[in-house]
Amino acid sequence: MSKELRRQVGRLLRQGPRVLPIVQAGDPVLRRVAEPYDGQLSDELFAELVEAMRLTMHDAPGVGLAAPQIGLGLALAVAEDEGSAGDDGEDDDPRERTALPFRVLVNPRYEVVGEQRVPFFEGCLSVDGYQAVVARPHRVRLHWADAAGRAQVEELSGWPARIVQHETDHLNGVLYLDHADLRTLSSNENLAAADDED
Ligand code: ZN
């Protein structure tokens, strides 16, 4: 598998780090449990892969991207969100969309902390054009290794907790639709129109 993985990454990065195509629901790679990363790639190739994922996430644009979304069954994700606070630092967004600085998540896993679950609309770059309400744990304890391979643990809540749950779920072959309230499924256009009526 490692050799195949290296070949695959080599193919993706043939022209250097760049924006890559995002695979859509129905591609089996999104339904497989990703292979843990334990140094299958050279440091240089790993760094280029992370850079390509960062570029692809920003281009989409999105706040997270998991390796299966570029067709790689590898337990690796990137995440970054500038948050919703305005220039005055005020934020009345009920999603608690606080800033999440850029992170490389290698082999992430999370534990739910507390009982609180919060329902919000959520979307996915691999289910392009739609959103649905998912009730998720408000707080999780995330365990991962960073780009330098150092083990990290952190408790996150609000929107950052939702982002890391969503990306970690991807590495287990889970899409947000699996635990969404499907009666809320809405195109982005219809959701924007409904928001405008408020
Ligand atoms: Zn997604």
Domain ranges of the chain: 2-85+92-197
**Which pLDDT tens digit goes with each residue over 21-49?**
999 999 999 999 999 999 999 999 999 99
> Tell me: domain 2-85+92-197, CATH 3.90.45.10, correct?
yes
Stretch 16-22: mean pLDDT: 96
Q: What pLDDT was estimated at residue 29?
A: 98
Per residue, the 3-state secondary structure of the chain, as one string, reads CHHHHHHHHHHHCCCCCCCCCCCCCCCHHHHCCCECCCCCCCHHHHHHHHHHHHHHHHHCCCCEEEHHHHCCCECEEEEEECCCCCCCCCCCCCCCCCCEEEEEEEEEEEEECCCCEEEEEEECCCCCCEEEEEEEECEEEEEEECCCCCEEEEEEEHHHHHHHHHHHHHHCCCCHHHHEEEEEEEEHHHHHHHHHHC
pLDDT(91) > 90: no
pLDDT of residue 196: 81
pTM assigned to the model? 0.95
- In this model, does residue 89 exceed pLDDT 90? no
The answer to whether 124 is annotated as binding is yes
For ligand 1, the distance from its centroid to the CA atom of residue 88, given in whole angstroms, is 31
The pLDDT assigned to 14 comes to 94
Catalytic, 189? Answer no
Of 35, 48, 122, 167, which one is the catalytic site residue?
167
